[in-house]
Structure 1
Amino acid sequence: MRSKPALTGMKRKNAEKLTEGFRGIFAFLFTTSGIINILALTGSFYMLQIYDRALTSGSVPTLLALSALAIGLYLFQGLFDIIRSQVLVRVGARLDAKIAPLAHQVAIDMPRFGFSTAEALERGRDVDTVRSFLGSQGPVALFDLPWMPLYLIFVYMLHPYLGALTFGGAFVLSVLTVITELMTRRLASSTHQSAIARNAIADSNARNAEILKAMGFAGRAVSRFNAANQEHLQLQTRTNDISGTFGAVSRVLRMVLQSAVLGLGAWLTIQGELSAGAIIAASVASARALAPVDLAIGNWKGLVAARNAFNRLKETVVALAGNEAPMQLPAPTASLKVEKITIAAPGSGRVLLSEVSFEIKAGQALGIIGPSGGGKTTLARALTGIWPALRGSVRLDDADLTQWSDDNLGQYIGYLPQDVALLDATVEENIARLEEDADARAIVEAAQITGIHEMIVRMPDGYRTALGPQGASLSGGQRQRIGLARALYKNPFLVVMDEPNSNLDGEGEMALTETIKAIRARGGIAVVIAHRPSALAAVDLVAVIQNGKMVAFGPKEEILKSAAPADPGNRQAPAAQNAPRVTSRVLA
């Protein structure tokens, strides 16, 4: 077991992977910024030479030579500025390409651990925030800030008083920058959280649009969104007021300082301590020295947002890197064992299922019955690895589910959730689970087993028919049967079906029964959660889940017999006498 310092070092190393390969680029950008800032002194030297040499000598050739040299240096400065800007844009794109898939992977995992969809998608927005910042003027200010002493030294060389005045102005602006940081840090976090809350409400309203429309409470839903939006706007306004106010103050101070430099320079010239050209040169150089601070304050909101987004992305990389890829195991072929598992809801931590144990052999099918809210769907999520076990383990051929990677485990598990959601893709892609170069024969076989092949080929484009968002153009039964075909693609060893007949007609229920028989016949295991007894026609085992406990488990006939109303003239069969009393409500 690794020590805490070792884990901390590992996390730091994983976080550093975000900037791996970028250090050389940042060194290049820093060097390029140095060249740009050195070339930016062109204006000051040009003014110094014009006033102190060209005008005093009255030489036109000198004026033309100085002007030609200044134009050439300005062109070089512009060229390096373009290079720096384009490199920053490409760094943002490269970072996006590197992190966006990781962020999306976390976004897929977050909802099953109790996070809202809006909060999960925020990781993708964090990538956009960092990329947009790198393409703005914010990084330019940060790369120019270290070169401020260059201008301060130049002004000081013109006259110590001018250098002291410029340094004092830079110090005041730096203090304003620190104050801006302190005042916006907490507000920036609160604003981000309020945006997540607002987006969560918007996402919930969009997903329940039909209900809102049919039952006429869309107006109240909008009011609820508006309240969250108003809170977000208030926080955002306060943040903008702070950054805008300090930005305006910094610009005014910079203009005051530039005039003060001119005034002090004029006084020094009157005193005979400074030339006329030095006045203009000092003014230009001091303005350039303070420009990065002014620009940084003006872009501080974007800087804080990008920094917070980058920190969250580092946490994302650390979370993903903490999961080591397990060794690939052979495909399971023998059994499913559930050993005293306890499952808690990821969001609230409330225990939903406690101390459940059973074993199923290859070729068997288990029906799970019980009242609503008893823990049946929780068990299905545990069997498929969606929700991790708080205690205990789920094993395929004696190997815990955690010993497989998600990709490998997915080959051996088929899952039909209670609420079937199809991807915005074609029928073919949905059944094949987005597999590249999917096996057409396996796709058709899965469709035929579930009895929907004829339905699919009658669609406008057959298996290539696009279903649209969540398959909204299909009926509930059609979506359910396509979802079942997806669960059966390539004959997985374990198939878990949660209410598979909730939207099926008589023909669909017959197809479901044949599907379960087919799974058993090929040596697979089927687990069926059902309220309607018709779904249990092909199972041989039944478990009863009540109040988060498994109160009965055994052969179907015995369990269903014990679940039926007791006949006073009939004694229970011996095999069922030890089973707890279960009322007929378990099938309700």
Structure 2
Amino acid sequence: MAAAPHVRQSELSDALRGCRSAFIGVGVMSCIINLLYLTGSIFMLEVYDRVLPSRSVPTLIGLIIIAAALYAAQGALDMIRSRILGRIGTALDESLNARVFDTVVRLPLSVGGRNEGLQPLRDLDNIRSFLGSQGPGAFFDLPWLPLYLAICFAFHVMLGVTALVGAVILVTLTLITEYLTRTPAKEAMGLAARRNDLATASRRNAEVLVAMGMTGRLMQRWSETNEKYLAGNQRASDVVGGLGAIAKVLRMMLQSAVLAVGAYLVIHQEATAGIIIAGSILSARALAPVDLAIAHWKSFVAARQSWHRLSQLLQTMPQRSAPTLLQPPVGKLSVEAISIVAPGDQKAIVQDVSFALSAGNGLGIIGPSASGKSSLVRALVGVWRPVRGHVRLDGAALDQWSTDELGRHIGYLPQDVELFAGSVAQNISRFDPQASPDGIIAAAQEAGVHDMIIKMREGYDTQIGEQGAALSAGQAQRVALARALYGNPFLIVLDEPNSNLDTEGDEALSRAVRSARARGAIVVVVAHRPIGIEAVDQVLVMKDGRAQAFGPKETVLAQVLQPRVTTPAPIKIVSEAGVTKA
């Protein structure tokens, strides 16, 4: 299961190299275990060639005691080896799970929708599961096959040749298994990922599917994808199962062939009866790892593909080094001629937008749909990186901050509100384990949601369920607003924060924006309704990804709301932006 050759060693290889001492221990135990596997052969050899001719019961009892002790030692070592391999898989998971999770989170922001979803986590599970199975033990036992063959040759050349022919046949079957399962297994893995993504999307949009009668159609798509997955998986299983059955039968035939050859040698007085039994046991033991490897070949192929895929992904998404810790921003937000391209796309959504805001400023961003407003604010909070230009806080570009540290100074409310399974307090505090109740309540009060929360069954400790299922859309949006305000961030970005709010919610939003500005925060609000920008003092008008106007709210709105007769062009922009509908 070695990684594909790369110029730079993969992180998976580095993590596995950290378990080098454990692998050395497994190798040493494999050596002892395979020597102890000779117990049965030597015991039968002694019984047939020494005990039976001498009819010595004490010798038999002594051999039984020795054999029992050796078998017990073999069993104990085999159990310890299996546990060590399982713990190697666990150690690999523990060293990489945070890194893989970080990659899963960052991947959509780099490649957009063309990503593998949760496949990296499944790949790590595949590797860990294989390391904890009997497969690695079989591969550790395979190098000892020549030892057993050599002993067979020592008994007699014909016994050695018979065992060697069987070994060649079984090794050939192993190579055929590798060749025939590679493509079906790879296809099955890809189809499994598609199937899981479809199921996740259907579960997330269950209300839409049921309400609009789309369940049957999506079920048909699921069935088609599932049939392809099952067909590919079945092909791989058929190959492994068929060749595994052939290998098992050939191993039994080989054991009988060794007995027959041994009997022929005894008849011609070229071997003893003990050699017949011992040779049969040795030949079976020699080929057992091959048989076991074929039986676990499917999981081995899956783990190897996961290894390659995960290694390439981790190299594509390198681990970010921790930058020098900067002082908290307190003064200015500067946007310097930024152009933005959606992840995984090539067309610019926002082009050459520049403006600057100082502490206490509030900016309203307006404009028609698809004018680049949401894309712009994603760049302001560091979710999307500009392809040109910079977003700076107090002169420092956002990429000079670590994600976690920058997040302390930013409050963000996206269009699509996502809350997480947990309590209301945990969601407001961004799941900070050291959050103080005073800070949580202060954020809720600033967002005007405190009274609503304390009326819930368990107040701030109310469990809201996955994706905030226990809350209405308006409640979820107001809790998300409190989350954006938690910790008194310097930059607060609200993307259509009143889309699900009633009049009371709109008033609370305006008060929250004024309060944040009063304490020196910069607030950016994207809005389609005039009440959304009531509490700001600056306005940016966007159209076709470009800034059409920027400045004090009264000046800009007066300009874009001029009568159609005076300046036709601006009126056209304003009517498309929807501002005149107030």
* Alpha-carbon distance in 2 for matches of 1:359, 1:157: 87
Q: Could you tell me how far 1:16 is from its partner in structure 2?
A: 3.2
Q: Could you tell me how far 1:113 is from its partner in structure 2?
A: 3.2
Give the match's secondary structure for 2:357: strand
What residue ranges of structure 2 are gaps of 5+ in the alignment?
A: 1-5
What do the CA deviations read for 1:435-489 (whole angstroms, capped 9, x no partner)? 1120222211111111111111111221111111111111111111110110011
Q: Could you tell me how far 1:239 is from its partner in structure 2?
A: 1.0
* Alpha-carbon distance in 1 for matches of 2:157, 2:28: 28
Give the match's secondary structure for 1:389: coil
8 A Cα contact 2:562 2:571, kept in partner: no
Query: Does structure 1 residue 426 correspond to structure 2 residue 423?
Result: yes
Matching residue's letter, 1:18: A
- The equivalent of 2:503 in structure 1 is 506
- The equivalent of 1:200 in structure 2 is 197
Q: Could you tell me how far 1:169 is from its partner in structure 2?
A: 1.5
Query: Does structure 1 residue 495 correspond to structure 2 residue 492?
Result: yes
8 A Cα contact 2:561 2:571, kept in partner: no
8 A Cα contact 1:563 1:581, kept in partner: no
Q: Could you tell me how far 1:583 is from its partner in structure 2?
A: 3.0
- The equivalent of 1:587 in structure 2 is 578
Any residues of structure 2 matched to 1:559-578 within 5 Å, and which?
559-564=556-561, 566-568=563-565
Any residues of structure 2 matched to 1:411-490 within 5 Å, and which?
411-490=408-487
8 A Cα contact 2:331 2:358, kept in partner: yes
Q: Could you tell me how far 1:293 is from its partner in structure 2?
A: 0.5
CA distance change for structure 1 residues 237 and 350 in 2, over 3 Å: closer, same or farther?
farther
* Alpha-carbon distance in 2 for matches of 1:358, 1:168: 79
* Alpha-carbon distance in 1 for matches of 2:337, 2:147: 70
- The equivalent of 1:285 in structure 2 is 282
Q: Could you tell me how far 1:111 is from its partner in structure 2?
A: 2.9
* Alpha-carbon distance in 1 for matches of 2:95, 2:56: 58
8 A Cα contact 1:14 1:321, kept in partner: no
- The equivalent of 2:3 in structure 1 is none
Any residues of structure 2 matched to 1:95-114 within 5 Å, and which?
95-114=92-111
Deviates more, 1:132-141 or 1:558-567: 558-567
Deviates more, 1:193-202 or 1:266-275: 266-275
- State the Cα RMSD in Å: 1.9
Query: Does structure 1 residue 29 correspond to structure 2 residue 26?
Result: yes
The match for 2:374 among 373, 377, 387 is 377
CA distance change for structure 1 residues 121 and 42 in 2, over 3 Å: closer, same or farther?
same
CA distance change for structure 1 residues 208 and 64 in 2, over 3 Å: closer, same or farther?
same
Q: Could you tell me how far 1:316 is from its partner in structure 2?
A: 4.9
Q: Could you tell me how far 1:52 is from its partner in structure 2?
A: 0.9
Q: Could you tell me how far 1:99 is from its partner in structure 2?
A: 2.0
* Alpha-carbon distance in 1 for matches of 2:347, 2:225: 27
Query: Does structure 1 residue 18 correspond to structure 2 residue 15?
Result: yes
CA distance change for structure 1 residues 259 and 158 in 2, over 3 Å: closer, same or farther?
same
Matching residue's letter, 1:456: I
8 A Cα contact 1:447 1:453, kept in partner: yes
CA distance change for structure 1 residues 271 and 385 in 2, over 3 Å: closer, same or farther?
same
Q: Could you tell me how far 1:117 is from its partner in structure 2?
A: 10
Matching residue's letter, 2:460: Y
The match for 2:207 among 186, 207, 210 is 210
Give the match's secondary structure for 1:84: helix
Matching residue's letter, 1:400: A
Query: Does structure 1 residue 546 correspond to structure 2 residue 559?
Result: no
Query: Does structure 1 residue 338 correspond to structure 2 residue 335?
Result: yes
What do the CA deviations read for 1:36-75 (whole angstroms, capped 9, x no partner)? 1100101111111111111112222222222221111111
Q: Could you tell me how far 1:559 is from its partner in structure 2?
A: 2.1
Matching residue's letter, 1:31: V
What residue ranges of structure 1 are gaps of 5+ in the alignment?
A: 1-7
Give the match's secondary structure for 2:338: strand
Query: Does structure 1 residue 89 correspond to structure 2 residue 86?
Result: yes
Matching residue's letter, 1:128: D
- The equivalent of 1:362 in structure 2 is 359
Any residues of structure 2 matched to 1:379-394 within 5 Å, and which?
379-394=376-391
Matching residue's letter, 1:351: A
Matching residue's letter, 1:220: R
CA distance change for structure 1 residues 483 and 25 in 2, over 3 Å: closer, same or farther?
same
* Alpha-carbon distance in 1 for matches of 2:515, 2:17: 51
Give the match's secondary structure for 1:330: coil
Give the match's secondary structure for 1:441: helix
Q: Normalising by structure 2, what TM-score?
A: 0.95
Matching residue's letter, 1:211: V
* Alpha-carbon distance in 2 for matches of 1:567, 1:205: 47
- The equivalent of 2:183 in structure 1 is 186
Deviates more, 1:478-487 or 1:546-555: 546-555
* Alpha-carbon distance in 2 for matches of 1:73, 1:386: 62
The match for 2:398 among 391, 398, 401 is 401
Q: Could you tell me how far 1:501 is from its partner in structure 2?
A: 0.6
Deviates more, 1:539-548 or 1:297-306: 539-548
8 A Cα contact 1:551 1:580, kept in partner: no
What do the CA deviations read for 1:515-534 (whole angstroms, capped 9, x no partner)? 11112211111111010111
Matching residue's letter, 2:369: S
- The equivalent of 1:219 in structure 2 is 216
What do the CA deviations read for 1:193-233 (whole angstroms, capped 9, x no partner)? 11111111111111110011111121111111111111111
Q: Could you tell me how far 1:173 is from its partner in structure 2?
A: 1.3
Q: Normalising by structure 1, what TM-score?
A: 0.94
CA distance change for structure 1 residues 322 and 108 in 2, over 3 Å: closer, same or farther?
closer
* Alpha-carbon distance in 2 for matches of 1:287, 1:536: 81
* Alpha-carbon distance in 2 for matches of 1:417, 1:509: 16
Q: Could you tell me how far 1:118 is from its partner in structure 2?
A: 8.8
* Alpha-carbon distance in 1 for matches of 2:512, 2:447: 6
Q: Percentage identity across aligned positions? A: 47
8 A Cα contact 2:329 2:490, kept in partner: yes
8 A Cα contact 2:37 2:74, kept in partner: yes
- The equivalent of 1:154 in structure 2 is 151
Give the match's secondary structure for 1:582: helix
Any residues of structure 2 matched to 1:222-233 within 5 Å, and which?
222-233=219-230
* Alpha-carbon distance in 1 for matches of 2:71, 2:176: 35
Matching residue's letter, 2:487: K
* Alpha-carbon distance in 1 for matches of 2:90, 2:230: 30
Query: Does structure 1 residue 49 correspond to structure 2 residue 40?
Result: no
CA distance change for structure 1 residues 21 and 78 in 2, over 3 Å: closer, same or farther?
same
Give the match's secondary structure for 1:470: helix
* Alpha-carbon distance in 2 for matches of 1:104, 1:257: 49
8 A Cα contact 1:368 1:530, kept in partner: yes
8 A Cα contact 1:194 1:228, kept in partner: yes
**Equivalenced residues, count:** 574
Give the match's secondary structure for 2:573: coil
8 A Cα contact 2:371 2:545, kept in partner: yes
- The equivalent of 2:69 in structure 1 is 72
Deviates more, 1:155-164 or 1:490-499: 155-164
Deviates more, 1:459-468 or 1:286-295: 459-468
Q: Could you tell me how far 1:351 is from its partner in structure 2?
A: 2.4
